[in-house]
Amino acid sequence: MRWSSGNSPDVEDRRGSSGGGGMRFGGRGLGVGGLLLVLLLSVVFKKDFLGLLSGGGDPSAPAQGPVESSPAEDQLKSFVGAVLDSVQTTWDVELPPQTRVPYQHAHLVLFRDAIESACGFAQAATGPFYCPGDNKVYVDLGFFEELKERFGAPGDFAQAYVLAHEIGHHVQVLLGTEGRVRRAMQQRPDEANALSVRVELQADCYAGVWGHTAAAHGILETGDVEEGLNAAAAVGDDRIQRMSTGRVNPDGFTHGSAAQRASWFKRGMSSGQVADCDTVEGR
């Protein structure tokens, strides 16, 4: 990728924070899919699990110390900010004419090891996630090394795909998709996993919409599209299940198969149109 270094105003560097306290729910942080599942549990068991997740703390005001950062981390932080600005500039331009909905910027929070968000306590092992409770993307920079080494998806455009996917969840909130899916899960809890897959595949397609614009602006280099497709496939449910258990259980999918994820990312890349990313409404 061709990119220029700089400091994005939408990046919050909280790598020096303590990680906070609060209630930990199974040691996992929650993105859009996880939050929807917790809402489902609240309906089924008639208990406010979201309240338990928040722990009564203020996630916006963690104890912050000095940030110790290596030159490599500084460069990666600059790259993350450049990609974030590129993705959000794309949506500034494309979302209003395509959907008649104005784009509102999300913030991206950098953290180390663990952090408290409006969606609960998150650990680095959870991977990057978007929290609709505070409209922020949370990223531990160490994930990008894991993306390369564990998932076999190297390259800067693979990293950019991950960030664009998470901003795709923010677009879903702005368009009301997240709310519609949340209500559907409350009404049809037996379809929770299938609905979660649709949400994630749409975010993959939205990442492709940004990729389409990036290509048109000459940001991409030879091999970048292949890196993005490889990254989308690398985090498919079937590949992750096979890595962790040696078996594949489609009923347990929450994000979609490798083939599905790569296909929807490619669809967004090809058209650049929000309307072509309709995995949820089914029209």
Decide if 213 is inside a domain.
yes
Distance CA 215, CA 212 (A): 5
Decide if 265 is inside a domain.
yes
Decide if 5 is inside a domain.
no
Return the minimum-mean-pLDDT range out of 235-239, 255-259, 262-266: 235-239
Task: Give backbone dihedrals phi and psi of 170, rounded to 5 degrees, phi first.
Answer: -65, -40
Decide if 4 is inside a domain.
no
Q: Do residues 231 and 158 touch, judged by C-beta distance below 8 A?
A: yes
Decide if 6 is inside a domain.
no
In total, the chain counts a number of residues equal to 283
Decide if 204 is inside a domain.
yes
**What are 217's two structure tokens?**
């602006």
The residue type at 103: Y
Q: Do residues 228 and 160 touch, judged by C-beta distance below 8 A?
A: yes
Parent domain of 131: 11-277
Distance CA 143, CA 137 (A): 13
- pLDDT grade, residue 122 (50/70/90)? confident
Q: Do residues 263 and 256 touch, judged by C-beta distance below 8 A?
A: no
Number of domains in the chain: 1
**What are 250's two structure tokens?**
């489609």
Neighbours of 120 (CB within 10 A): 26
Distance CA 280, CA 204 (A): 13
Decide if 283 is inside a domain.
no
The tens digit of pLDDT for each residue in 77-121 reads 999 999 999 999 999 999 999 999 999 999 999 999 889 989 988
Distance CA 128, CA 23 (A): 20
The tens digit of pLDDT for each residue in 132-172 reads 999 999 999 998 888 888 888 878 888 999 999 999 999 99
